[in-house]
Amino acid sequence: LLMGPLAASAWFREPLERALGRPVQPEAAAGTLAAGAAITAWHDVARSLGRPAGRVTEPLTAAVGLARRDGTMLRIFEPHTRLPAEKATAFPTVEGTPFAVTLWQGNALAAESNAWLGGIASVAERSGELVLRTKLSADGRLDARLESPTGKALDVRLSPAEPSAEERAVLVERSPWQVTTPENTGLLTKMKKFFGS
């Protein structure tokens, strides 16, 4: 958002747009600016008087999730999640079994249709439960790490450099998350188990 005389200066605006890679908004309605200034001032006064002040939060625009073994995405953070946010997702492992965790962002059901965020491939050192801890900062920066049953922490590599389609397919096949079918979790199945049939 540009304000004042510089907003009309092409020599200033155009290099800024090239540097940002997107157009800038040269002006805003006076009422919007006045309302924003009033809200900011009110929060400053409330804070100085020891009263609880409001807080501005940035919502997540698209879901962040993990690839299941069948290629669908298991959502960790839903769209419109208020930032900052943190989640822990656990999964069982068997000693010596290779596994891969891949992170994606988007609202599509298929992980491959979403944006690649990063991943990690490893071999379980011990049978037990691995915990994936994902954290989104207030500005939307994602951090992720794995905690093994032994207490060892592994950082998940988050990089815009997306692996090839073949490499992604291998990683997704090693996902520890599977789709739970309705036949195994539905009400009818539970009733059959209850009545012993």
Residue 71 and residue 148 in one domain: yes
- Identify whether 70 is part of a domain: yes
In a domain, residue 189? The reply is no
Is the pLDDT reported for residue 67 higher than 90? yes
The Cα–Cα gap between 182 and 53 comes to: 46
Q: What is the pTM of this model?
A: 0.61
pLDDT of residue 196: 54
Measure the CA–CA gap between 90 and 51, rounded to whole angstroms.
Answer: 39
- Domain assignment of residue 169, given as a range: 64-178
**101 domain-assigned:** yes
For residue 183, pLDDT over 50 is answered with no
Number of domains observed in the structure of the chain: 2
Q: Tell me which of 12 and 89 has the higher pLDDT.
A: 89
Q: What is the structure's pLDDT at 80? A: 87
Q: In this structure, are 39 and 9 located in the same domain?
A: yes
Examine residue 186 and state whether it is found in any structural domain, yes or no.
no
Tell me whether residue 138 is in a domain.
yes
The rounded distance, in Å, linking the Cα atoms of 139 and 72 is: 27
Q: Answer yes or no: do 23 and 98 share one domain.
A: no
183 within domain boundaries: no
Residues 82 and 162 placed together within one structural domain of the fold: yes
The answer to whether position 88 is within a domain reads yes
On whether both 70 and 163 belong to a single domain, the answer is: yes
pLDDT tens-digit map of 143-167: 888 888 777 887 777 766 778 888 8
- Contact residues for 114 (Cβ-Cβ < 8 A; gap 6+): 62, 63, 65, 73, 104, 105, 106, 107, 108
Q: What is the pLDDT of residue 49?
A: 79
Same domain, 93 and 171: yes
Mean pLDDT computed over every residue of the chain: 78
Neighbours of 66 (CB within 10 A): 24
Confirm whether 10 is domain-assigned: yes
